[in-house]
Chains A and B, each alone.
Chain A
């Protein structure tokens, strides 16, 4: 209806499949509407016409109504009545979207993408000189993201068909998931910051809804709310960055900004501020210090959600934002240094917490925070290709890890359910062990992902992580970043520090991932005797997607081989993203040369050695056989306890920020200013004053006629006297 002529008619993509790019958005949206409708219409019981009167006699009538299990984890296995239809629509729209994405990708391969392909759908906010349209932009960067989102997304949707099959909120789940994909695609396809922001907040919203999917548990609802509010702090940064951009550049379109970029001086305060505010947005969405706290709690959602939203796609939106804004960031070395530093610190910090977590999903959550830190190191040092490359490989292996853990939890749940065990925690690794023989496929695939994330050669993670670390080293040796300084510390020193953080985090990653594998799959089983027969591999609808992800995790590195490892064509990914980020990378790297091949070999050697060391340490030090189930585990002590409690950061935020705000609002603003000062003193005070004056006046009325007469006479005399004086 409102589709207009594409803005860039004459673009080589205009007559290809790319002109259906809007369909990519419409499909998941349609899925959302259909599934949402099915969900509501199945759940709704339209109320009586007079709700006030009907309430009482209604109560007794169906006292034994099924205690509606919607929104509860603990449910009898009853298929939803629309389950079949939903299983078709939910994953279906994603598969079609993925097909379309492939078609567009093929079309894009054939043409030169010097200019992005922009499709304007309709006017959105045309106000004065602000012209914001709902417009989509296709370029190599958004193409990569679209492929990851629809591809990995489709796999996770399929996995969910099995994982969520018995959940009473089945259609609601797929409605949210479809809506999430819609917003995520909008985020990466938006041709201007406001449209991107719609996606940005939209994915946060879906994340909120999905974390709190089993909302009848207060902890889940809390986690959802926390995620949304913490994300909003980041969104505040995104908003301010947009305001700064509009006030200084006069445009919010990506192309408009590029055209007017000379209004911003290179390295100036304004562009630095813009980038720092954008980065504040990233710390929220992508869980970096200091706003990472919501992500571990977000594991309260269903596990496929953790895989899709909190590992593969949404949390990487911040990395995408910086890659998308690489023009701005490459002009602000101080901001870029900040990004790299915060990324490095987060990578290390989260990895240490990951060492002592017992919940299998919490380990993966902190691992995600840590890996996101790597990506920010990459985009921070201007290695945009490397950052996005790590984003892609991470999407493969982390989605695999989460789905694998989902399979494990699924099996554990089934076992506990069958043995009516409601006391033990199905996600705690202390209750697992020995699953290798029960779930061999999952075991193999998860080892592949573990080796990938640890950075063992030929697996995908090795290539992407290595690209980031060598880029840091290269920049430290000479670049605009090395010449800049942050808080008085020279850039090159900072970058060497970031490199060290990266290496340390790599060591810890290898340790905690191996630890997770050992405790989950190896050693004796701690699940309990009765549960043993029920622990088994998940159905193929769940294992199938795992296998695909396993292959991708293993060979994903071939997308971007470094030149010095000649096992295939080098740098495919690099060349693909060249039109988008090439010039910006060059701007940051200016003043430094490529690494000598000897140095590069040494760097790779170090990284591999460290990864192997980590795995070996884990194997040597950790004894799965000595582990006891959670219920009989002793409490941790000393530093281990600090780690287990995540350095008490949540508690600190709560005491320092949350509680003072709430208490202050209640006692000072509401009870003090509102009720006390304004209402008490001014409003009711003036009423009181009026009454007091009235009371004073009434005291003159004695009711004694004699007194009145006296007053009257005296008054007359006074008047007479006054007249007499005048004349």
Chain B
């Protein structure tokens, strides 16, 4: 059971990583990040069967943080969109040296 759950978690995480690396749309990248977070959540829950409830407590934390992050992140994306009329990451390079 544990192995399957971890395998699923790994698959989800990899999908998230690949999404972050390959997609150009900020919203999709953002969703992929969420996907990675949830993959981690899944492994936390799975491990909690072995090591006690600490993992589940952590999941609650992560979800809270993810929610906050989603709020802030989407707000930033919207304001970027208002400013540049695009959410394509290729076109956004404010941090270029």
Contacts and interface: CB of A to CB of B under 8 A. Distances in A.
A-B pairs, 10 with minimum CB distance: A703-B93, A698-B97, A703-B96, A701-B97, A703-B95, A705-B89, A709-B20, A709-B21, A704-B93, A706-B89
A713 B90 CA distance: 19
Interface of B: 17, 20-21, 24, 29, 89-90, 92-97
Nearest to B29: A705
Contacts of B94: 703
A713 B24 CA distance: 17
Nearest to A703: B93
Q: SS class of chain A's interface: helix, strand, loop or mixed?
A: helix
B25 to A, nearest CB: 11
Contact of B24 (A699, A700, A703, A706): A706
B93 A702 contact: yes
Contact of B92 (A697, A701, A703): A703
B95 A713 contact: no
Nearest to B96: A703
Interface in A679-703: 697-703
B60 to A, nearest CB: 25
Contacts of A705: 29, 89, 92
A690 to B, nearest CB: 15
Interface of A: 697-706, 709-710, 713
16 contacts: A697-B97, A698-B97, A699-B97, A700-B97, A703-B92, A703-B95, A703-B96, A703-B97, A704-B93, A705-B89, A705-B92, A706-B20, A706-B89, A706-B90, A709-B21, A713-B21
Contacts of B93: 702-704
Contacts of A702: 93, 96-97
A150 to B, nearest CB: 84
Contacts of A710: 21
A697 B97 CA distance: 8
> Which among B93, B94, B97 has the greatest number of chain A C-beta atoms within 10 A?
B97
A108 B25 CA distance: 115
> Which among A699, A701, A704, A713 has the greatest number of chain B C-beta atoms within 10 A?
A704
Given A697-B97, A702-B93, 14 more contacts: A698-B97, A699-B97, A700-B97, A701-B95, A701-B97, A703-B92, A703-B97, A704-B89, A705-B29, A705-B89, A706-B89, A706-B90, A709-B21, A713-B17
B10 to A, nearest CB: 13
A398 B71 CA distance: 107
A704 B17 contact: no
Nearest to A701: B97
A697 to B, nearest CB: 7
Contacts of A713: 17, 21
A699 B96 CA distance: 8
B5 to A, nearest CB: 21
A477 to B, nearest CB: 94
A704 B90 contact: yes
A705 B94 CA distance: 10
A703 B17 CA distance: 19
A702 B20 CA distance: 17
Nearest to A697: B97
A713 B96 CA distance: 20
A544 B20 CA distance: 114
Contacts of B29: 705
A704 B29 CA distance: 13
